[in-house]
Amino acid sequence: MAIPAEHMKRLEAGLSAHESWLATLRRQIEGLEAEASAHEMMLRLGRDPGLRRVLGELHDQPELGERIAADPRSFFEGSGVEVPEGAAVTVTVHPDGSAIEARFANPYLEYGVGWSRVAGFYSIQAPDPDEPPDALNPPRGS
Protein backbone atom coordinates (compact mmCIF):
# COMPACT_ATOMS: atom_id res chain seq x y z
CA MET A 1 0.00 0.00 0.00
CA ALA A 2 1.35 3.46 -0.96
CA ILE A 3 1.63 6.37 1.41
CA PRO A 4 -1.56 8.40 1.12
CA ALA A 5 -1.32 11.54 -1.02
CA GLU A 6 -2.56 13.68 1.88
CA HIS A 7 0.38 12.47 4.01
CA MET A 8 2.85 13.28 1.21
CA LYS A 9 1.32 16.72 0.78
CA ARG A 10 1.78 17.47 4.51
CA LEU A 11 5.32 16.09 4.38
CA GLU A 12 6.23 18.37 1.46
CA ALA A 13 4.67 21.37 3.18
CA GLY A 14 6.66 20.61 6.34
CA LEU A 15 9.89 20.11 4.40
CA SER A 16 9.31 23.37 2.56
CA ALA A 17 8.89 25.16 5.89
CA HIS A 18 12.16 23.64 7.16
CA GLU A 19 13.99 24.72 3.99
CA SER A 20 12.67 28.24 4.39
CA TRP A 21 13.66 28.40 8.06
CA LEU A 22 17.12 26.97 7.27
CA ALA A 23 17.67 29.72 4.67
CA THR A 24 16.64 32.31 7.28
CA LEU A 25 19.06 30.83 9.82
CA ARG A 26 21.92 30.87 7.31
CA ARG A 27 21.27 34.57 6.55
CA GLN A 28 21.22 35.31 10.28
CA ILE A 29 24.49 33.43 10.76
CA GLU A 30 26.09 35.43 7.93
CA GLY A 31 24.89 38.65 9.57
CA LEU A 32 26.23 37.58 12.97
CA GLU A 33 29.58 36.62 11.43
CA ALA A 34 29.76 40.03 9.76
CA GLU A 35 28.97 41.72 13.06
CA ALA A 36 31.59 39.62 14.88
CA SER A 37 34.12 40.59 12.20
CA ALA A 38 33.30 44.26 12.81
CA HIS A 39 33.97 43.88 16.53
CA GLU A 40 37.23 42.04 15.79
CA MET A 41 38.33 44.94 13.57
CA MET A 42 37.50 47.52 16.25
CA LEU A 43 39.41 45.48 18.86
CA ARG A 44 42.40 45.13 16.53
CA LEU A 45 42.54 48.85 15.84
CA GLY A 46 41.99 49.83 19.46
CA ARG A 47 44.82 47.58 20.62
CA ASP A 48 47.31 48.47 17.87
CA PRO A 49 50.37 49.94 19.64
CA GLY A 50 51.53 51.72 16.47
CA LEU A 51 48.18 53.42 16.06
CA ARG A 52 48.18 54.42 19.72
CA ARG A 53 51.67 55.88 19.28
CA VAL A 54 50.60 57.97 16.25
CA LEU A 55 47.49 59.19 18.05
CA GLY A 56 49.66 60.12 21.03
CA GLU A 57 51.88 62.16 18.71
CA LEU A 58 48.81 63.84 17.25
CA HIS A 59 47.54 64.60 20.74
CA ASP A 60 50.84 66.24 21.66
CA GLN A 61 51.32 67.93 18.28
CA PRO A 62 47.89 69.06 17.01
CA GLU A 63 49.50 70.69 13.95
CA LEU A 64 50.34 67.17 12.74
CA GLY A 65 46.65 66.80 11.80
CA GLU A 66 47.07 68.81 8.60
CA ARG A 67 49.95 66.61 7.49
CA ILE A 68 47.95 63.44 8.19
CA ALA A 69 44.87 64.89 6.47
CA ALA A 70 46.78 65.35 3.20
CA ASP A 71 47.04 61.54 2.74
CA PRO A 72 45.95 59.57 5.82
CA ARG A 73 46.63 56.11 4.41
CA SER A 74 50.19 56.98 3.31
CA PHE A 75 50.91 58.73 6.60
CA PHE A 76 49.78 55.80 8.72
CA GLU A 77 51.49 53.19 6.57
CA GLY A 78 54.67 55.30 6.58
CA SER A 79 54.44 55.33 10.38
CA GLY A 80 54.24 51.53 10.49
CA VAL A 81 50.48 51.35 11.06
CA GLU A 82 48.66 48.88 8.82
CA VAL A 83 45.49 50.44 7.45
CA PRO A 84 42.90 47.69 6.98
CA GLU A 85 41.77 46.98 3.44
CA GLY A 86 38.47 48.63 2.67
CA ALA A 87 38.87 51.27 5.38
CA ALA A 88 37.81 54.78 4.46
CA VAL A 89 40.12 56.92 6.59
CA THR A 90 39.34 60.59 7.03
CA VAL A 91 40.95 63.35 9.04
CA THR A 92 39.04 66.47 9.95
CA VAL A 93 41.19 69.36 11.13
CA HIS A 94 39.67 71.60 13.81
CA PRO A 95 41.25 74.53 15.66
CA ASP A 96 40.98 72.56 18.93
CA GLY A 97 42.46 69.37 17.43
CA SER A 98 41.93 66.91 14.63
CA ALA A 99 39.55 63.97 14.42
CA ILE A 100 40.50 60.74 12.67
CA GLU A 101 37.91 58.20 11.59
CA ALA A 102 38.11 54.83 9.89
CA ARG A 103 34.83 53.63 8.41
CA PHE A 104 33.97 50.19 7.13
CA ALA A 105 31.01 48.60 5.39
CA ASN A 106 30.00 45.06 4.65
CA PRO A 107 26.74 43.75 3.21
CA TYR A 108 25.19 43.68 6.69
CA LEU A 109 26.33 46.84 8.43
CA GLU A 110 28.30 50.06 8.34
CA TYR A 111 30.52 50.95 11.27
CA GLY A 112 33.69 52.72 12.23
CA VAL A 113 35.98 53.97 14.92
CA GLY A 114 37.30 57.42 15.59
CA TRP A 115 39.50 59.51 17.82
CA SER A 116 39.68 63.21 18.44
CA ARG A 117 41.80 65.31 20.73
CA VAL A 118 38.63 66.56 22.42
CA ALA A 119 36.34 63.48 22.54
CA GLY A 120 38.94 60.72 22.74
CA PHE A 121 37.99 57.33 21.31
CA TYR A 122 34.53 56.55 19.95
CA SER A 123 32.63 54.03 17.86
CA ILE A 124 30.61 54.95 14.81
CA GLN A 125 27.41 53.10 14.05
CA ALA A 126 25.18 53.54 11.05
CA PRO A 127 21.96 55.30 12.00
CA ASP A 128 18.68 53.47 12.02
CA PRO A 129 16.83 54.18 8.77
CA ASP A 130 14.47 56.62 10.51
CA GLU A 131 17.20 58.24 12.64
CA PRO A 132 18.34 61.62 11.30
CA PRO A 133 22.05 61.80 10.44
CA ASP A 134 24.41 63.82 12.59
CA ALA A 135 28.16 64.35 12.86
CA LEU A 136 28.82 60.84 14.20
CA ASN A 137 26.14 59.14 12.07
CA PRO A 138 26.39 60.46 8.52
CA PRO A 139 23.86 59.41 5.89
CA ARG A 140 24.39 55.88 4.56
CA GLY A 141 26.55 55.78 1.49
CA SER A 142 28.48 58.94 2.28
DSSP single-letter state for residue 102: E
In order of 44, 66, 75, 115, 138, the CA distances from 123 in angstroms are 13, 23, 22, 9, 13
In this predicted structure, the answer to whether residue 137 has a pLDDT above a threshold of 60 is no
Model pTM greater than 0.85? Answer: no
Domain ranges of the chain: 5-125
31-83: per-residue pLDDT in tens?
999 999 999 999 999 999 999 999 999 999 999 999 999 999 999 999 999 99
Within a 10 A sphere around the Cβ of 131, how many other Cβ atoms? 10
88-125: per-residue pLDDT in tens?
999 999 888 899 999 999 888 899 999 999 899 999 98
pLDDT of residue 94: 86
- Binned at pLDDT 50, 70 and 90, residue 139 comes out as very low
pLDDT of residue 93: 93
